[in-house]
Amino acid sequence: MKAPKILLLLLLSLQVIAYTVIADSQTCPATNIDSCSDGWEGEFFPGIPQIKYEGPSSKNPLAFKYYNAEEEVLGKKMKDWFRFSVAFWHTFRGTGGDPFGAPTKSWPWEDGTNSLKIAKRRMRANFEFINKLGVDYWCFHDRDIAPDGKTLEEANANLDEVVALAKELQGNKKVLWGTAQLFMHPRYMHGGATSSELGVYAYAAAQVKKAMEVTHYLAGENYVFWGGREGYQSLLNTDMERELNHLARFLESAVAYKKKIGFNGTLLIEPKPQEPTKHQYDWDAATTANFLRKYGLIDEFKLNIECNHATLSGHSCHHELETARINGLLGNIDANTGDPQVGWDTDQFLIDIAEATNIMLTVIRNGGIAPGGFNFDAKLRRESTDVEDLFIGHIVGMDTMARGLRNAAKLIEDGSLDELVRKRYQSFDSEIGSLVEAGKADFEFLEKKVKEWGEPKVASAKQELAEMIFQYAL
């Protein structure tokens, strides 16, 4: 009787060992990074399931409580209202480093280098993450997905190699937008398109040309210009007019090249007021719109509004979105936020339900945001170092925006807030008001009306009532 038992125990032990070996071969552990070869097809996020909708009562941190991709709101599926996108740079290149401290994150698939091998490994991790999160889009900077080179030719070859893998892995996923990183390399210390050096301007043009080509190759739906250093530190040594003219010529060339290669995506400009420069030329939505009109580019570009940049410029995200919308320029949204007690771009996941509701009121009024979407230009806090945290950050961001959509739909369907606004301006619905809005009431005509009417009566704006209606919807 003992022999069969010993044999059985031996078989069970061998089975456990076999399962352990299989499990190890299907993960990318920090202790055995060589198991993740270029052709490796195991899991980068073992133990993380497909993220599903479980409803508001769920206590599962790895489940959606409010974002239900297929649920229809105001005649459109949630996933189509948002078109959520994972931002490669923060999700896979974020290190937790800040101006005061060294990096705190080292994901299991990293080896401390920025080699092509690791770049490809990151790309595989990217698509596993996107698939498990259940989003349809991703976005990138060229230098985030592939290492730079000693020459432009080497950098382009590196990018081609990684992009070829991305094309292979992409399947039914899509690129929301691509862009060129024209701010990190020392050559861009004075900017790219606004650099005082012709050679730098030319290098920036060549880099954008290549970034546009690979975005087109990956069937990207938009291309973004973020002028990280397109601005100045001091006007004492800056010819601002000349730099603005150069920036306009640069963007004109981008428009021409877009048409030449048959790229049908939208060109987007992302406003930001400062940091790292003292003053950046695309300070906010209104400044950027004025720039585009001045140089005859208003029909060629839309805006990518980042909520954290809005607050740095002294505006709310809602203000920037409305400014873009009423100018016909709302193209995409970087869904993030900043800490109101910190004076720089902290790029946190947006979790403010009221702000999300205001954002979605604008998006609904805009009729949606396609071919743009919502990309999470947001990073984990320095102290959050588990791969699980990458999922949790995106889940809470997506759930927050879903709550904002539901609340905005509730406000629109109720109609009380719209009615309050309508009543506030109802005097302009009169015959005389219509003449004013049509540009047919000159000063002499209006002076006669004032003499006829006497002192005007000014109604209450009912701000507290508006805030009450809004708060009750939350």
Is 50 exceeded by the pLDDT of residue 462? yes
pLDDT digits (tens, 9 = 90+) for 18-53: 333 333 334 555 445 555 555 556 789 999 999 999
Q: Residue 466: what are its φ and ψ, rounded to 5°?
A: -60, -45
Is 50 exceeded by the pLDDT of residue 12? no
Q: Is residue 158 part of a domain?
A: yes
Q: Is residue 146 part of a domain?
A: yes
pLDDT digits (tens, 9 = 90+) for 121-165: 999 999 999 999 999 999 999 999 999 999 999 999 999 999 999
pLDDT above 70: percentage of residues in the chain: 91
Active site residues: 141
Contact between residue 79 and residue 134 where contact means Cβ atoms under 8 Å apart: no
| Rounded Cα distance, 417 and 463, in Å | 11
- Average pLDDT on 426-439 reads 96
Is 70 exceeded by the pLDDT of residue 7? no
Residues 206 and 111 in one domain: yes
| Rounded Cα distance, 101 and 121, in Å | 26
Is 80 exceeded by the pLDDT of residue 368? yes
The residue among 320, 326, 352 whose CA lies nearest residue 339 is 352
Q: Residue 227: what are its φ and ψ, rounded to 5°?
A: -80, 75
Residues 392 and 434 in one domain: no
pLDDT at 227: 83
Q: Is residue 9 part of a domain?
A: no
pLDDT digits (tens, 9 = 90+) for 55-78: 999 999 999 999 999 999 999 999
Contacts of 202 (CB under 8 A, 6+ apart): none
Q: Is residue 164 part of a domain?
A: yes
Q: CB atoms < 10 A from the CB of 315, how many?
A: 21
Q: Is residue 23 part of a domain?
A: no
pLDDT digits (tens, 9 = 90+) for 98-108: 888 999 988 99
CA 458, chain centre distance (Å): 42
| Rounded Cα distance, 178 and 144, in Å | 11
Residues 243 and 269 in one domain: yes
Contact between residue 318 and residue 359 where contact means Cβ atoms under 8 Å apart: yes
Q: Is residue 25 part of a domain?
A: no
Average pLDDT of every residue of the chain: 91
Q: Is residue 37 part of a domain?
A: no
pLDDT at 25: 38
Q: Which among 414, 434, 451 is the end of a domain?
A: 414
CATH of the domain at 179: 3.20.20.150
Residues 76 and 190 in one domain: yes
pLDDT at 41: 61
Residues 390 and 450 in one domain: no
pLDDT at 32: 52
pLDDT at 38: 56
pLDDT digits (tens, 9 = 90+) for 159-187: 999 999 999 999 999 999 999 999 999 99
Residues 201 and 321 in one domain: yes
Is 50 exceeded by the pLDDT of residue 8? no
pLDDT at 274: 86
pLDDT at 311: 92
- Average pLDDT on 440-467 reads 96
Kindly state the helix (H) or strand (E) to which residue 165 belongs, with its residue range: helix 152-170
Report CA-CA distances (Å) from 108 to 30, 33, 111, 122, 387: 4, 7, 8, 10, 9
Contact between residue 177 and residue 218 where contact means Cβ atoms under 8 Å apart: no
pLDDT digits (tens, 9 = 90+) for 180-226: 999 999 999 999 999 999 999 999 999 999 999 999 999 999 999 98
pLDDT at 36: 59
Residues 298 and 372 in one domain: yes
Q: Which among 378, 393, 414 is the end of a domain?
A: 414
Residues 464 and 347 in one domain: no
| Rounded Cα distance, 195 and 204, in Å | 9
In this structure, the dihedral spanned by the alpha carbons of residues 268, 272, 277 and 280, taken in order and rounded to 10 degrees, is 70
Domain count, the chain: 2
Q: Is residue 127 part of a domain?
A: yes
- Average pLDDT on 264-283 reads 93
The phi-psi region of residue 276 (left if phi > 0; otherwise alpha if psi is between -120 and 50; otherwise beta) is: alpha
Which residue segment(s) compose the domain that 192 sits in? 52-414
pLDDT digits (tens, 9 = 90+) for 233-256: 999 999 999 999 999 999 999 999
Residues 344 and 226 in one domain: yes
Residues 321 and 432 in one domain: no
Residues 405 and 426 in one domain: no
Tokens representing 271? 């406003």
| Rounded Cα distance, 231 and 213, in Å | 26
Residues 281 and 326 in one domain: yes
This prediction has a pTM of: 0.89
Contacts of 92 (CB under 8 A, 6+ apart): 107, 122, 125, 126, 129, 144
pLDDT at 343: 75
Q: Which among 414, 429, 462 is the end of a domain?
A: 414
